Structure 1
Amino acid sequence: MGRRSVGGCRYPHGVTETPQPTRLHPLYVAVTVLFVVLVALALWATARGDVRAGEQGDEREAAADPAPSEDARIRADVERDLGTIEGVESATIQVFEEGMLENAPPPSPAVTIDLESFRTPEDTQATVDAVYGILAGSGLSGPPTVTVVDTLPGTKATLTLEPAGPGDPAVHDAVAFLDAGATSVHLTADNAAVSGRDPAALPGLAEVAGTLARPLNSLSTDGYGAMYTSSVDPVPPPLPAVQLLAEAGSRDETTQTVYEVRSPTGNPVPLLTVYVDGPPAPVADWLRASGQADLLGSAIAFTVYGSQTSESGFVSDRELVSTDPANDEADAAAAAADGVPPCTGQDLRAGVTGFDAAAGSRFLTVTAENVTDAPCALDGRPGLSFLRASGTVPDVLSEPEIPGQSPVRIVVPPGGVATSQLRWGAMSTANDPDQTTSVLVTTVPGADEARLRVADVPGAESGVDILEGARIVVGDWVRSSS
């Protein structure tokens, strides 16, 4: 029997057909290969171009960087030489050329010497003298300015100096202060300041200043809770004054105390200002009983500011004596003579002068000049009120220098001047910029009120910070020493 086709299949029954793979046309293969090659070439060229551009950029940047200048090389050499000096931890030299004018002389190099710590005053002085020796022949572009610094590990005590030159004992003295327990020493041409950890440390530092004959502008605790300050003609802080400051600052009720050596333009008597929590009477009584003014040999005025009131007086109850050597005998004779008439408003011409500011206090001096050809007697204090820039009168509290003490009667000769000093605590003008611009003065009861412009006083051209709520301590009339 012959075979038949089943379902149109050409193969015998039970045989499966294997599909043949699709055959690509040779042209398609060639195009595909060419495309892949071109893409690869393009990527390779791009990458190579980036690399070459980077290399060229580096070359351009390298070419743009100038070679170190001769001055820079000299500075580097000097820094290296300074760093080899025994006692020098590191040395840096900087030149600040920004803002230089054309044809201006080259700026002075700023040399900073960081010292090794815990060396003797003598060794440290020798180190800094050696620094100056190298700088003298260094060839730097200008005369260098030298700053010496040090921070003692473990204590955080710091030293900052600007010596005047080789042999300047400031270097020796600064290390001596650190050895005595100072937490900060800052000695420059403009300011000499030393600080200690607490009030008890200050007398020891004052002793060092006295031994070294080192004048100080300030001697204070960290944070200025207790501070001796002398802004004019500083001298080594007198030990009795610093002992008084330390004792006042160590009292439980004291929050701050300041001993000020006063400006010659105002009252020359030193002023001790004490701020306390609570009433001022206990500290004021203690100051009046203290013997420190006797040890110092001069009067010390004080003001104690309490929570609500204040008290003023003199340490050791020593009173201020104003002297005028040229007229002492004449004044004494006139004061002792019968019939010296009291000064009237027409006899006196009022003035205002002597504005001063120091350590949170402000001072202003009111004057009364005898414009007649005969002496007259004056006592008491001037009557005062104040006028602000807005034309308003601030509400202030006026207090006598020494409460309860009768004023001393003085004789003002023809052309003579009596003065009364005003003192008040600094006030913030941030929220109340309406400052006092005039003082209204009544020299004696019944006199016409004189309006005196504060803006005419040097240093107070924009007014003074006598604002609402100010407390003014008004001194008695005394004879001017000038």
Structure 2
Amino acid sequence: MTETPQTARLHPLYVVVGVLFVALVALALWATARGDDQAAGQGDEREAPADPATSQDATIREDVERDLGAIEGVESATVEVLDEDLLEGLPEHVPAPAASVTVDLESFRTPEDAQATVDAVYGVLTTSGLSGSPTLTVVDTLPGTAATMRLEPTGPGDRSVHDGVAFLDAGATAVHLTADNAAVTGREPAALPGLAEVAGTLARPLNSLSTDGYGAMYTSSVDPVPPPLPAVQLLAEAGSRDETTQAVYEVRSPTGNPVPLLTVYVEGPPTPVADWLRASGQADLLGSAIAFTVYGSETSESGFVSDRELVSTDPAGDEADAAAAAADGIPPCTGPDLRAGVTGFDAAAGSRFLTVTAENVSDAPCALDGRPWLSFLRASGTVPDVLAEPEVPGQSPVRVVVPPGGVATSQLRWGAMSTANDPDQTTSVLVTTVPGAEVTRLRVTDVPGADSGVDILEGARVVVGDWVRAAS
């Protein structure tokens, strides 16, 4: 007998749950389709997502560029504003940086016309609606000459554009005038006196006046003035000599006494150029002494241009000064009174500088004169053969009074030496502040910029300045 299979029966509860699930799915699909239809019918009424906020400067940037480009004498103009993403990231209390505007002038215009163009540029910027005070950079490149000008006027009324074009007209190959630095470059040493005359006529102070490649360079790092013509003429003559590889006229005042120094590097012996400098009359024309150092292939020689030596800065004489200090009951500084230090490494136009300090760590003032006694220690632990000599031979040092906590300084200067073959550089200076004091070893490698040592090598000549009071 054969049995017929029984059909499986679903539980009534499962049937109810299944029906409800299907109904809910259908309802959801219907609601979605209805919402899409309504959105399609009201598409014009729905607002699009808001664009990121656009700064006013970005909105008007192209208009400002167009207005600036329409000014007579402007070849092109660019306005740069802060990127929108960066603008959104600024904290609320931090104002957005001002726009940066660069104007390229048409070439071969007169100084007066070029200045009038930039005055008109400031007129547009004043009414442009740009936020803050836009910074302005003015550039120009003379076709066919490669002469360039880059200026950063400080604002309306600044005559730097007039002066910059005047330098270009006088043959300058590069003019860079900003609030922090004024530099003019000529093609060869013979061009420098003419540029110095222009600076004098314009009353335009310069930090540097040099040739392309810095073969001849006048530089002033303190209170720059228009370069004195006799000084630049001397520089040009020195730089034009056949044996000269570089000539640098520096006005440097680390001790408050702006004594000019002419440094000349020559091929061969230094004596012919040194003798020529001693016979020159340029120091008489300048009205002050000019110290010089001529570095030859193997030796160097120093002296004064026109043989015009410096006079003592102590009109009463050293003996009178010492007597006055003794009368005031100020004793000489002793070794235990002073703590030696080293700082201020610097490099400029073929020269190197380092400053030795002496701090009065006692509770009473003491008098200090002369200069420190020095020797040098190389990385290998050996002492190089170095000639250390006074800054001004034959001049009596001025006696200075160092109060408790006060500091006296002595500046060291030497000519740059080649480190191409990884020589044994100086890593420490051995200092004796006053006669009888203990020798203090000072690590030059702790001084910023001299972490690998300094190029005081075998045969170096180091000029050691007198002790002077450090500026407060």
Q: TM-score, normalised by structure 2?
A: 0.73
Alignment counterpart, residue 90 of structure 2, candidates 95, 99, 102: 102
Q: What is the 5 A alignment of 1:6-25?
A: none
* 1:106-138 deviation per Cα after TM superposition (whole angstroms, max 9, x unaligned): 232221111111111111111101011011111
What is the alpha-carbon distance in structure 2 between the residues aligned to residue 419 and residue 138 of structure 1? Answer: 53
Residue 451 (structure 1) shift:
3.0
2:233 maps to: 243
In structure 2, the partner of 1:23 is none
The equivalent of 2:151 in structure 1 is 161
Instruction: Tell me the secondary structure at the aligned position of residue 316 of structure 1.
Output: helix
Query: How has the CA–CA distance of structure 1 residues 281 and 142 changed in structure 2, closer, same or farther, with 3 Å as cutoff?
Result: same
In structure 1, which of residues 316, 333, 345 is the aligned counterpart of residue 306 of structure 2? 316
Structure 2 residue aligned with 1:133? 123
| CA pair 479-156 structure 1, distance change in 2 beyond 3 A | closer
Correspondence for 1:20: none
Cα distance 1:131–1:68, how it changes in 2: closer, same or farther (>3 A)?
Answer: farther
2:389 is matched with which residue?
400
Query: What amino acid maps onto 1:311 in structure 2?
Result: E
The 5-angstrom pairing of residues 3-402 of structure 1 reads 71-97=57-83, 99-100=86-87, 101-103=89-91, 104-265=94-255, 268-324=258-314, 330-331=320-321, 351=340, 355=344, 356-366=346-356, 383-388=373-378, 390=379, 392-400=381-389
Q: Distance in 2 between matches of 1:316 and 1:481?
A: 31
Structure 1's 154 and 87: CA in aligned 2 closer, same or farther, altered over 3 A?
A: same
8 Å CA contact retained: 2:354, 2:412: yes
**Alignment check: 8 A CA contact 2:418 2:455 kept:** no
List per-residue Cα deviations over 1:166-186 (Å, max 9, x = no partner): 221001100111111111111
Q: Distance in 2 between matches of 1:435 and 1:324?
A: 38
| Residue 223 (structure 1) shift | 1.0
The structure with more radius of gyration: 1
- Cα distance, 1:278 vs. partner? 0.6
* 1:432–1:467 contact (8 Å) kept in structure 2: no
Point out where structure 1 has 5 or more consecutive residues left out of the alignment. 1-62, 336-342
Q: What's the counterpart of residue 44 of structure 2?
A: none
Give the stretch that moved more between structures: 344-353 or 315-324. 344-353
Does the 8 A contact of 1:352 with 1:364 survive in 2?
A: no
Q: 1:410 to 1:136 in 2, by over 3 A?
A: closer
Distance 1:352 1:319, change over 3 A: farther
- The question of whether the paired residues in 1 share the 8 Å contact of 2:426 and 2:457 is answered with no
Alpha-carbon deviations, 1:428-458, whole Å to 9, x = none?
668749764432134678765343454677x
Work out the CA distance in 1 between the residues paired with 2:333 and 2:162: 61
2:458 is aligned with 1:469: yes
Distance in 2 (CA, whole Å) between partners of 1:68 and 1:161 is: 34
Q: Secondary structure at the match of 1:165?
A: coil
Does the 8 Å CA contact 1:323/1:481 hold for their aligned counterparts?
Answer: no
Which range moved further: 326-335 or 156-165?
326-335
Q: Deviations over 1:321-355 (max 9, x none)?
A: 342469868238689xxxxxxx9986995845573
**Which residue does 1:17 correspond to in 2?**
none
Indicate if the aligned counterparts of 2:419 and 2:455 stay in contact, CA closer than 8 A.
Answer: no
Distance 2:169 2:358 in 1: 52
Deviations 1:71-98 (A, max 9, x none): 4441111111111111111112122426
Per-residue CA distance 1:221-246 (angstroms, 9 max, x = gap): 11111011112221111111111110
The alpha carbon displacement at 1:190 in A equals 1.8
- Greater CA deviation, 88-97 or 429-438? 429-438
Could you tell me whether the CA contact under 8 Å between 1:283 and 1:304 is conserved in 2? yes
User: Partner residue of 1:22?
Assistant: none
Give the deviation of 1:469 after TM superposition: 2.8
Moved more, 169-178 or 356-365: 356-365
Whole-angstrom CA distance in 2 between matches of 1:414 and 1:152 = 56
Aligned-partner Cα distance in 1 for 2:431–2:138: 53
Q: Summarize the Cα distance change of 1:369–1:474 in structure 2 as closer, same or farther, 3 Å threshold.
A: farther
Identity of aligned residues (%): 71
Task: Specify whether residues 415 and 142 from structure 1 end up closer, same or farther in structure 2 by C-alpha distance, changes over 3 A only.
Answer: closer
TM-score normalized with structure 1 length: 0.72
CA distance in 2, matches of 1:327, 1:409: 8
Question: 2-side partners of 1:373 and 1:466: how far apart?
Answer: 36
Whether contact under 8 Å (1:313, 1:401) holds in the other structure is no
2:156 & 2:333 partners in 1: Cα distance? Answer: 63
The alpha-carbon deviation at position 412 of structure 1 amounts to: 4.7
Partners of 2:68 and 2:162 in 1: how far apart? Answer: 19
Cα distance between partner residues in 2 of 1:68 and 1:444: 69
Letter in structure 2 aligned against 1:392: G
1:426 deviates by 3.2
Give the root-mean-square deviation of aligned CA atoms. 4.0
Following the alignment from structure 1 to structure 2, what is the Cα–Cα distance between the partners of residues 122 and 373? Answer: 59
CA gap of 1:438–1:322, structure 2 versus 1, over 3 A, is farther
2-side partners of 1:362 and 1:148: how far apart? 34
